[in-house]
């Protein structure tokens, strides 16, 4: 009985650790995000530090710094596209992107889209 109890605690701690790791930006995620951006042709319109067709990722990070809704808002915006935040030029929708890719891109952009670390 005592052994089982201890075992359960260990499993819980393990699960908690796994959960924490999943929510922290891990080594290599910058590169992964960069690859996702490339793969989805984001970089044709966006660069880290200069405006192309869309605003630079660093400008986007600045604009939304400290905004608690930014993550949800931008994730949705990347998925659905639209205009109005930066001007009248619309951003195309990316309806085929999966949730994990949308999340990693959003977090990366909010960090200013570093290309290495
Ligand atoms: C055809 C050009 C184009 C492509 C491709 C493109 N974007 Fe954009 N993006 C824009 C434009 C234009 C805006 C400004 C929209 C606005 O003013 O609301 C924008 C805005 C954004 C914003 C800020 C949104 C806001 O409301 O502040 C993010 C984040 C973003 N793009 C991410 C991405 C990602 C990630 C991809 C690739 C999956 C991508 N973009 C592909 C043109 C593009």
| pLDDT tens per residue across span 64-116 | 999 999 999 999 999 999 999 999 999 999 999 999 999 999 999 999 999 86
Give the distance (Å) from ligand 1 centre to CA of residue 91. 5
pLDDT score for 105:
97
Residue bearing the bigger pLDDT, 4 or 53? 53
Name the residue at shortest CA distance from atom 15 of ligand 1. 83
pLDDT score for 5:
65
What percent of the chain has a predicted confidence (pLDDT) above 90?
A: 74
Q: How far apart are CA 46 and CA 53, in angstroms?
A: 7
- Burial code (b: 16+ CB inside 10 Å, e: under 16) for 80-116 equals eeeeeeeeeeebeebeebeeebbebbbbbbbbbbeee
């Amino acid at each position: 009985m005592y052994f089982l109890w201890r075992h359960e605690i260990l499993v819980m701690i393990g699960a908690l650790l796994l959960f924490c790791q999943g929510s922290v930006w891990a080594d290599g995620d910058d590169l992964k995000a960069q690859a996702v951006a490339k793969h989805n042709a984001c970089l044709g319109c966006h660069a880290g530090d200069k405006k192309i067709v869309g605003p630079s990722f660093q400008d986007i990070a600045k604009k939304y710094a400290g905004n608690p809704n930014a993550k949800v808002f931008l994730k949705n915006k990347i998925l659905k596209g639209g205009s109005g935040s930066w001007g009248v030029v619309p951003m195309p929708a990316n309806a085929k992107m999966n949730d994990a890719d949308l999340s990693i891109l959003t977090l990366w952009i909010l960090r200013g889209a570093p290309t290495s670390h």
